[in-house]
Amino acid sequence: MIHFKLHCATRAGVLGWALSGALIYTPAALAAAGSNTRSCPVAPPPLSLPAKGNASTLVADQASMAHDIATAQGHVYLERNGQTLEAPYIRYNRKTSEATAHGGLKYLLSGLYLTADKGRINTDRRTGEFEGTHYSVLDSGARGTAARVNSLGDNRYRLHDADYSTCPGPTKAWLLWAPRIDIDRRSGRGVAHNAIMKIYGVPVLYTPYLNFPINNQRHTGFLAPTFGSSSRTGFELATPYYINLAPNYDATLTPRVMSTRGFQLGAQFRYVTPHQTGEFDGQVLPYDSTYGAERDLEHFEHTGQITPHIGIQAKYNRVSDRYYFRDLSNTLEDTSRYQLDRSLELTAVQPGVKFSLLAQSFQTLYDNFHGLGGRFDPRPYRRMPEATLDLLTPTAPFQAGLHAQFTNFRRDQSIDAYRIDLRPRLIWGVDHGGWFANSEAAYRLTHYDLSNLQYAASDGYGQSIPNTINREIPSFKADAGLRFSRTLDNGWIQTLDPRMQYLLVGYQNQSDIPIFDSGSATLNYDQLFADNRYTGIDRIGDANQITIGVSSHLVSPNTGRTVARFDLGRVTSFRKLRVGLPDSGTTGYNKHGSDYVVGGMFSPSDLFTTRATLSYDAHAAKIDRAIATATIGHSGSYQLDLGYRYYRNYRPSRNVTRLSYDRHGSRVYATTLLPGQFESLSQAAIGIRAPLGSGLDVIGRWNYSLKRHQNIETLAGLEYRPSCCYAVRLAWRRYVDYNSRQNNTIMFQFVLRGLGRFGKSVSSFVQHDMFSATPQTR
């Protein structure tokens, strides 16, 4: 119960009356009501919300009370239950908590501000009705007018004969008008019935029902449609429908119409639990009118924890045919993809023990290299299964460890194998901050049990491969380093970390071992100190070598950020290296050891960063590998990206001959390896994003093969933001797929800020790595 008392109040020299309850009178202040908008900001309302509590405050120039009804005139303020009402006339019933106001009112509650000719509210229920209304949704930037507004309570509102926009000013770039608009701030949704979309006052779209977002909450309803055109699909339109099933899982259905292909339906289901996360994706095109058959895609991935010590990872990918991504995808990563992973892995971990069980296979899409053999065959071996056990004692500084692995390699029309690999080791190590030293002695035993040797010749091997192969290789490693640090006169910190490692690995002839998982490791500063110059187990590089390297960092005293880094190192071999990969090309190693490897980074500010790595063969006086990138500016304004990469003798040369066309009109190729000849890779890339003024930005990227004199990808586009309430993006993209065929795509996106976006995403094509194309495409 509220107890009223009458007292005098003076405001701006006027003697008036104030009615107050349990709270003492507090003057109204001009303050903003917390507007964190996603689009055009709303002007702060000239009202403030009352402090939390159940008391009421009524302030007026003139006031009277009879039979629990207060009548106030002049400049009248009513504050109650998180609401503020201002009007020239207010009549308030303290028993029913109903207030009536007219003569032009202002009303504020959390997240909503409106002005109206007249209205009535129930301050306890937070409901009411207003006529002749202008409203603003403070946290989303939405605003508009309505003949009548009904406040339904619980942050729900119904607007009659109303318009809705996020654009400021009397002339709206876009505006949604409807005889009825429902706004629910709890769910973050708005619903318009028989709505008309207007662009600068011109009607452009009618819809009997439109469900649109008013904030960033998840909700069920149509997402922004996408449309565009490409040389593969023709004109296309997709209308995703999002289903918010629960806080921890959702689904999306995406109908897609392509003028040259037909109708495709896509679906996605995602889930998250405290210990699991995963996603299902599927697409089906019942009949591709260009391809002449049904086409579909399935994708599933899951990562989780079964128990506190057991984890699981699963992945499954499948497409109906090898040309699926080429024909139906526009991303360069997809159009360069030529194999799909399918795997299931269980991992159990305890202190000092790790056990994993892996089953893995692949769907191969691009088999132009079939018959090249070894690591150049694009058909990876299935691992059915692969079991790995790692043990390490907790003792220090001496530790004992074991790495054990069993793998069953299987591939159609190829040599198959069971492989068992054991590597016991003894470790000693100390680290005293300013210096460290460690050593390791190991003995590797590997056993191969081979089958299907009739395919040895077609896999690129001779006929003399035995059924079983045993390999025993001892190794020893001693590693030590120093850590220096000094403070320069200007306060900057420079570190210097020299390091030296001796590696001794026994030699055994491994030329009769087929290649199941080995390849040449990319040579960089860290790789110089690795135990093996190859990846995988099929090739263990012999070594009697010493590695000397030095690394230095320059650190800012103010931010702790590394401003510059320099690495230099090389492996010096005391004997000629004998273990190699067939047709390996340039690996960065020769009979004298390794190339000189130089790496560095320089970033004097957030606006400029450059990185480079160089591998130089001093005996041949040739650069084997080089990569350099530079970024100037940042994505919020001007940004220029420059990149270059070069791999000498990257892979064997081959002749690709077009034989014929298959039944779907796709070309069929035959590939022949050219023994002793190798191809080099040389690519340059440029990316740019720059504002041209007046809300106009230009974006672009160019990726070019200097060896083949071939465009890999060209993208040019414009983004126009004439106001804070909408933007237009337009881009053209030309790219090469894995068959070296050029494709063209036009992308368009129209963004109504605060309502949605329409068209293909232009920005998504310029956010990934400059060299997103794999070396498969040069």
Contacts 24+ apart (CB under 8 A), 529-535: 529/479, 529/499, 529/501, 529/569, 531/475, 531/477, 531/503, 531/505, 532/505, 533/587, 533/589, 533/594, 534/581
- Residue 645 pairs with which residues in a beta bridge? 627, 683
pLDDT attached to residue 510: 93
Enter the tokens of residue 264.
């495709």
Q: pLDDT per residue over 148-182, tens digit each?
A: 999 998 889 999 999 998 888 888 888 889 999 99
Q: pLDDT per residue over 268-277, tens digit each?
A: 999 999 999 9
pLDDT attached to residue 336: 57
- How far from the centroid of its chain's Cα atoms is residue 86's Cα? 48
pLDDT attached to residue 3: 30
Enter the tokens of residue 385.
């299964």
pLDDT attached to residue 366: 66
Model confidence pTM above 0.95: no
What letters, b where the CB count within 10 A reaches 16 and e where it falls short, cover 401-423? bebbbbbbbebeebbbbebebbb
10-residue stretch averages of pLDDT, the chain, 778 residues long:
30 29 24 40 83 78 87 89 91 90 91 92 91 88 92 91 88 89 85 89 85 74 72 84 90 93 95 94 94 94 95 95 82 65 96 96 71 62 96 93 97 93 97 95 98 84 84 97 94 96 96 90 93 94 97 92 96 93 83 94 92 94 94 82 92 72 64 76 91 83 88 86 79 72 73 61 50 45
Q: pLDDT per residue over 607-644, tens digit each?
A: 999 999 999 999 889 999 999 999 998 766 788 999 99
